[in-house]
Amino acid sequence: MILIISKIFALALAIMVVSRSITDFRSKKESLQMTMFWIAIWLAVISITFFPAVITKTIDALGGDRTGLGTIFGMAIVFILFISYRVYVKSHRIEKQVNKIARTIALQDLKKPLKK
Amino acid sequence: MKLAIVIPVYNEEKVIKGVINSIPRKIKGVDKIEIIAVNDGSTDNSAEEIKKTRAKLIDLPINLGYGGASITGLEVAKILRSDIVVTFDGDGQHDSQDIDKIIKPIIAHKTNIVIGTRFADTQGMPFYKKWGIQTMNFIIFCLSGSWVSDSQSGLKAFSKKALERLRFDTSGMEFASEVIIEARRKRLKIYEVPTQTIYTSYSKSKGQNLLNGVNIIIKILYKQLVGP
């Protein structure tokens, strides 16, 4: 039962993200490369969800017994942490720039008479 | 001696006029008092209410957060060449009579930064708030080496020297913690003065939640590790 729910959940998320990405691409908010990247990522997620045997085959291809499921999970977590960090850094940078612009606009009138 | 009182305002239409009007017109040792109300992109009529008072209105086009609004107010105080700047919350939780108390050590040249602590009398302070602030005090102590009894207090006073030396770049509630860490980095002395807190259902409803506390810790840690 839990397996079916998780499959439905993954599929719903994938449809949401991919359709959003395509809509953004059509309205020129997202580049073709970025749209293709998200489609590929979510196709991979769906493949793993519906065909878990892919993981076993991948492990075998990467060296059989020496590469366990834990290694794959570990690598996935490191990758997700790296992506989260990059997104956080980027959003922090954008937040600082937005603050600067908003402050400049708010202080515009105040600075004018003092410059004279 | 010129004093600027910076009030960050976000959706405080119900109380802001009263808060501004409660600020004394004369304080011993101060020649001029200027009130700088920073409207932080409020979606209610806060800006209109501020216009009815003697405060100078600084209107931010978008909501930057508590820190963003406070830093904007401090910038204005610098432009106006204020000698002392006090930050004062707009939700009515501070007693305006305490302004006199927190600027005294700066007038007497004893210190550069004064924090009004709510921990001298914690009657009426909700338990979760007491616990949350003390946890934050400990984290700030670990990060800065400075122990203060109320690291999250919004009532603070800065000397002109402190204003010139401190560099802030946070935008949310983590601003209160950044002041302490930055002061330690710049070797500026911090004094604490006991102050009154007015706990009303309104000011309590404006308090911080647990998730915000986690957010503050993440942002402060990020700044410590990565830098501004």
Q: Does the beta carbon of A105 lie under 8 angstroms from any beta carbon of chain B?
A: yes
Q: Is residue A106 part of a domain?
A: no
Q: Cα-atom radius of gyration of chain A, to the nearest Å? A: 22
Give the pLDDT of residue B225.
72
A9 versus B99: the higher-pLDDT residue is: B99
**pLDDT one-digit tens code per residue, B177-208:** 999 999 999 999 999 999 988 877 777 676 66
Residue B6, domain CATH: 3.90.550.10
Domain assignment present for residue A103? The answer is no
Band of pLDDT at residue A65, cut at 50, 70 and 90? low
Q: Check residues B216 and B49 and name the one with the higher pLDDT.
A: B49
The answer to whether the beta carbons of residues B53 and B36 sit under 8 Å apart is no
CA nearest to B65 within chain A: A99
A96 contact B CB<8A = yes
CA distances for B118 relative to A57, B41, B150, B175, B194, angstroms? 62, 28, 7, 18, 6
- Put simply, the answer to whether B72 touches A107 (Cβ < 8 Å) is yes
First to last CA, chain B: 33
**Nearest residue of A to residue B218 by CA position?**
A88
B72 interfaces chain A, CB cutoff of 8 Å = yes
Residue B3: how many other CB atoms lie within 10 Å: 23
Is there a contact between B92 and B15 (Cβ–Cβ < 8 Å)? yes
Nearest CA in chain A to B38: A106
Q: Which two three-digit tokens encode residue B36? A: 């700088």
Any A CB within 8 A of B6 CB: no
The confidence score (pLDDT) of residue A116 equals 41
Determine whether the interchain pair A107/B60 forms a contact, defined as Cβ–Cβ distance below 8 Å.
no
SS3 call for B214: helix
* Cβ <8 Å between A114 and B79: yes
For B66, the closest chain A residue by CA position comes to A99
Q: What are phi and psi of B31, to 5 degrees?
A: -85, -35
Question: What's the burial of B28, exposed, middle or buried (CB within 10 Å: 0-12/13-18/19+)?
Answer: exposed
Domain that holds residue B9: 2-226
- Smallest Cβ distance to A110: which of B64, B79, B226? B79
How many angstroms away from the CA of B20 is the closest CA of chain A? 20
- The answer to whether the beta carbons of residues B85 and B6 sit under 8 Å apart is yes
Any domain includes A96: no
> What pLDDT does A115 receive?
46
User: Once rounded to an integer, what is the mean pLDDT over residues B56-64?
Assistant: 95
Chain B touched by A103 (CB under 8 Å): yes
Would the CB atoms of B62 and A102 count as touching at under 8 Å?
A: yes
Tell me the ipTM for this assembly.
0.77
d(CA B130, CA B35): 30
Measure the CA–CA gap between B87 and B149, rounded to whole angstroms: 18
Q: Is the confidence at residue A45, as pLDDT, over 90?
A: no
Give me the number of domains chain B comprises: 1
Taking an 8 Å cut-off on Cβ atoms, the answer to whether B226 and A110 are in contact is no
Which chain B residue has its CA at the smallest distance from A96's CA? B169
Residue B166: CB atoms within 10 Å: 19
pLDDT value of residue A64: 66
User: Per the domain annotation, does A23 fall within a domain?
Assistant: yes
Residue A61 lies in a domain: yes
- Closest to B84 (Cα-Cα) out of B107, B115, B116: B107
Give mean pLDDT, residues B158-181.
91
CB contact under 8 A, A106 and B68: no
Check CB contact under 8 Å for A107 and B75. Answer: yes
Say whether B71 sits in a helix, a strand or coil: helix
Domains of chain A: total: 1
A56 lies in a domain? yes
- Write out pLDDT tens, residues B7-39: 999 999 999 999 999 999 999 889 999 999 999
